[in-house]
Structure 1
Amino acid sequence: MTGDPLTSLTDNFFLIAGPCVVEEAAIMDEIADTLAAIRDRFGIATIFKASALKANRSSGESYRGPGWTNGLAQLAAIRARTGLSVLTDIHETPDAAEAAAAVDILQIPALLSRQTALIEAAAVTGKPLLVKKGQFMAGADMAQVVAKIERARARAGLAPVPTIACERGNIFGYQNIVADMRNLAIMRAPGVAVAFDAAHTVQLPSSQGAMSGGQPQFSPLLARAAVAAGCDGLFIEVHPDPASASSDPATSMPLHHLPALVEQCVALHRLVREGQMLDLDARLI
């Protein structure tokens, strides 16, 4: 993998961050430069994320990105310029091979986390996968997703590569999402790394009619809680000016807040590992 090899995801803290969708070059470069500085300062695996083309939109008029080809090209340019690994999500089985040629990690969106053909197509590219837990799924259900990935790779004769299970909360009634920290421990059971999505866990789906709202003031709190609860890394959407973001403005964290949050979370992660808290959790669960 170019950039930051995720060689030991369950031991070393990692960060996945970026805008919701691929934006204009100046914004992409500003975010990428901040992430590269975080990587260099803290010595952690740091991945730039952005959707080349979004599929899940509240309204048919919502911005979906610059298009598949253009979006992938911009992500590849970020990787070439900064050395950061890059990630994008896929929505159709033919997307898997094309995206795998341009990025380092493939993401399976939450609403597609039970789509067997899509997961298998992504698995056989040989790329690491990040799978968002569906808003409708229990943490234990992710074991079946991991099994699909491992079986597909075994049938293709591929060597094991990292899989990241990502907690992004569960629908709690209408237009609200809550995060159950127990899922972070439960999803580790199949032996995969676990990330916490500090952006979508504060989302208020479709609460603004044509778009989703959110409570981004709680993202740092939940991020710190998740790291203290034992997650291996964070997934968070950031933007230099969230109010002007082309997608998910209500849940994006201001970019200038990210370094301080990462500093806190790296320190918490070290305390959790040095205190062997996860060993105690494993004996109890």
Structure 2
Amino acid sequence: MKIQLQNQTIPLGPAYPLLLIAGPCAIENLDLCLYIADFMKKETEKRNIPYIFKASFDKANRSSISSFRGPGIEEGLRILETVRDRTGVPVISDIHLPSQADAAAEVLDMIQIPAFLCRQTDLLSAAARTGKPVNVKKGQFLAPWDMQNVISKLTQSGAREILLTERGASFGYNNLVVDFRSLPILSGFGHPVIFDATHSVQLPGGSGTQSSGQREFAPVLARSAVAAGADGIFIETHPEPEKALCDGANSLHLAALPALLDQLCAIKEILGGTRP
């Protein structure tokens, strides 16, 4: 399996390096995005890990109407384009409306569909028609085998390169749990499987007007996911998560990423993946 981005081809599978998708939850400003992208580029190049920078230009599914959402599509895409041009790193962001797909595709190397919207037919079709690779997060309310219908909507709308991301399942109120059986099930559909380590430790709505989280458990879930055969890991990270404007409680400290990447590479190598 491989993903064709604008300037590079990324092979994914048991014999290849782990893909890392990482960045802040939402775009706060250009300087922060450049800092994180440059830091992660250097760390992933040291480890021969393909890297995609992620940040949302709009977080439309916040708990409160007063929650920080990001700069919006116009300014957000301008920032992401600047990050890509200055660092040479591919960029991904999520769209929430079909009308956003074409504008996003002019800048993004990959389009992401949020978990809450993974069944929205018009949104999936619009993303597929752009011709860009599409990463779909499995809804917290879906069984892994239900993603076959999502895949069908994408492929019948023209998508050729699809990634499936596991990010936990609803477990009672304000809680998520990860069933690692999901990874081989999703992999069986013939598309690369990504594991979202930081949203899987989110406590949705756990702080009343915003979500909470347990970032201390994200590394163990990431290690477990690689051991279970994930082709890539998705991580939200910030230099100061306690001051992040969005999802700081489940974001990892940027300084902690190098050590975690070493662990993930070692696990991947044991399973037959390549490493420097």
Q: Report the TM-score when normalising by structure 1.
A: 0.91
The range that moved more, 34-43 or 201-210, is 34-43
The residue type paired with residue 251 of structure 2 is: S
What is the 5 A alignment of 1:173-188?
173-188=172-187
Corresponding residue of 1:144: 149
Corresponding residue of 2:212: 213
The residue type paired with residue 121 of structure 1 is: A
Distance 1:264 1:149, change over 3 A: same
Corresponding residue of 1:271: 270
How big is the shift at 1:9?
Answer: 5.2
SS at match of 1:106: strand
RMSD: 1.3
How big is the shift at 1:11?
Answer: 4.2
Question: CA–CA distance in 2 between the matches of 1:57 and 1:117?
Answer: 21
The residue type paired with residue 128 of structure 1 is: P
How big is the shift at 1:228?
Answer: 0.3
The residue type paired with residue 183 of structure 2 is: L
SS at match of 1:94: helix
Q: Which runs of 4+ in 1 moved over 4 A?
A: none
Distance 1:9 1:50, change over 3 A: farther
2:174 and 2:206 in contact (8 A); partners too: yes
Corresponding residue of 2:73: 68
Corresponding residue of 2:26: 21
Q: Unpaired segments of 5 or more residues in structure 2?
A: none
Would you say how many aligned residue pairs link Structure 1 and Structure 2?
Answer: 268
Identity of aligned residues (%): 46
Q: Deviations over 1:158-213 (max 9, x none)?
A: 7x3x2110000001000000010000000011100000000111011111111011
Distance 1:48 1:72, change over 3 A: same
Q: Deviations over 1:57-110 (max 9, x none)?
A: 000000000111000010011110111110000000011111000110000000
Corresponding residue of 1:247: 246
Q: Report the TM-score when normalising by structure 2.
A: 0.94
Question: CA–CA distance in 2 between the matches of 1:16 and 1:186?
Answer: 21
1:55 equivalent to 2:55? Answer no
The residue type paired with residue 142 of structure 1 is: M
